[in-house]
Structure 1
């Protein structure tokens, strides 16, 4: 049965649960089975259900091929507990289901979980106030990943539109406070994230009170040459013995610490040490508060949206506390190297290294504070994607820093209108996409025309080089070149004041003419 993509939005995990439930009830083959000489119709064995549901989950683009048979069994147990299925005697409410020939059936009605209207962690009234306050304090133009160097704004007063440049005077450079800079980092990050997720608002998937701009700023600016966050507080870092164990596994069998004697099964014990540390953390690396946000990004993990998902994860991982981001970076680097290391001994009797890494560390990367029925499957899907794209996901997005610096530069140019000796401040109104595209085209064309004039007026260029550059410009921008030089005469005037070089006299002697008479 073809899977349907559950797009980003509030309570995506609940929607996915309802979707899988409907697929399972609609597609699971029902047969006749005989038990103790008695025939039962419209039922299935536990093993048959596991086989069918496992195939469904692996082929479903919302979960991916990393789903294991054991995870499928766990999901069926939750189906039994939530009365999606029942045994032949109508019993349900427990998780007593194993991979065997025990018979089960569907109840007459399937309980579809209701989707709540609001997230329980915050109230709508306070949420709307925070977002409204952000919009009033920070009205931006239409942003793209390539933010223009000098963004165009439509400037308005509360009721009147200012139409003449004479109404403005420059009041000198404006000093931005620390709070102003933090607001800029936080708001521009949220604007880009909202655009990437294609959501009308982030309020249903992200509590704005959770955003700490200092985390974003630190994660962007305090990195090593490999892009890993460098912590100022060493007490927040991984313990030395965990770092040594991770380095040992990442570089296996090239272990630099030769003082540690090895033995048969040594690598398994080292791996268990690292796993125990991460599984013992008080909360997942992506934190409980950002669970809903990362679950929504899972809806972008499609082949045609891979680049979009990477960009969304880049921004979301900047929201993490620096200590969490550093742990996540080092963990993904370790398990990536281990998964690709052909010399790594088998660490599990029934599972390959990649599958073992994903199954072991998925819950310490992503899980909900209150258990969600699809937690394990969603975490597996996310860690699998991170394992393949962690270098891109966990690098610093340069375009975000450019957008922040450009906006800070704009704000430092204070524009004030003086009326009766009292300065009246103006705000920036967001313009439509069509207006932005028109302004962008006009600004770009003006910059190209300015480039042409610079070539024409450059006195350091020789005539040969200038003609060469003009030919290149004419080839790239024929319309702009034609508007500047509509005729060949106007182009020729550009070089007419240049002194011409006399032709060398090749013939120095008077030629002799011979008679052709005979």
Structure 2
């Protein structure tokens, strides 16, 4: 009897969400594409983008890839208000919390089990709290949790999910084209990989032993409050095992002061990310994007540069983006002049950090050193905002999905455009017609030019006849017998 109860509960939750958050103008859309999926998927897509998924500690234990219940409510509530799913009506926080409960019932995410007195405890009820931890479920787990084939609201069909992903990618590229001067980005639109793919990286693996060693000589409360160590250990999760072992072996040799411990960890991170063969984490393979962003910075257009960076990072794969996010957070923390001095010879932490990690962030072979430095420092200074999705992209995606809901051509361009889109056949016909008109005008100029000598005109007409006899014949018609070529 468990399966029927699960099915009816989830269906009722979905019905409540659809009724509560259907935007104006979407009523009575039965039978139209994306009727139920649009609102649901937009909320979940926004939730994935807004909450901070990372390893978190609860009761001195670590739980990987988690987000807070309060953060989820904040993200959902902001999205509902911004998108005006409820019109201009006031949306109470409790309503957003109920929506999060429906998302959890539909297996979009699950509560993370925490140990209480040695027993694992999972919450069945969503809690709007900074102490409650949740974790997104992948597509496979969502599928297995729904044996009756009930629409779970996020991946109701593979084709619809693919279309939503493609809309995000296309609108990201279109917005980039509006910000910086770029060539055709067919490789980005097609989702092609970089010609220099990064090697397989280690997953986000918790290192409890390393935390235990750090706790051994320090008070747990002060350890959690030390942003430097917290950011550094987050970066260590992406390092090879041998380097982490080196850190573990070196920690007992450190004195009670934390400065020696920090220098040890910094040295290992700088060694790993300073290797020449380490591929840059800002791995978008279209060089012109990086060049365009650096030009914006040189010209003092910092707001446009930040938005272009946000769009560029949106196009990256999730793993390199997460690793870059952690590294930039650590760099910004280590660059603080009040923190431990990280290099004996280089004066100032900021320049030392920039020099140690620049090559691991942006590919500098084709970009001038000054521009590379400018980009790296800009990323450090804006690391907390660089990974947010700009509001302009949210608007473009919303307009595009809304046009699809209304049954319009999904290939039509919404928002600002600079030219009219035509089919390949129309383009070929236009090229042929324009070429014919220009050749006709050229032949007329040669034939009617009184300044040309008879010999020169004969030579030019002969060359034209050899190259384009059909136009030559059409132009002269019945007079062709009198033309001397």
Structure number with greater Rg is 1
TM-score range, shorter chain: 0.3 to 0.5
Structure ranking higher on relative contact order (CA contacts 8 Å, 6+ apart): 1
| Structure number with higher helix proportion | 2
**How high is the TM-score relative to the length of structure 2?**
0.40
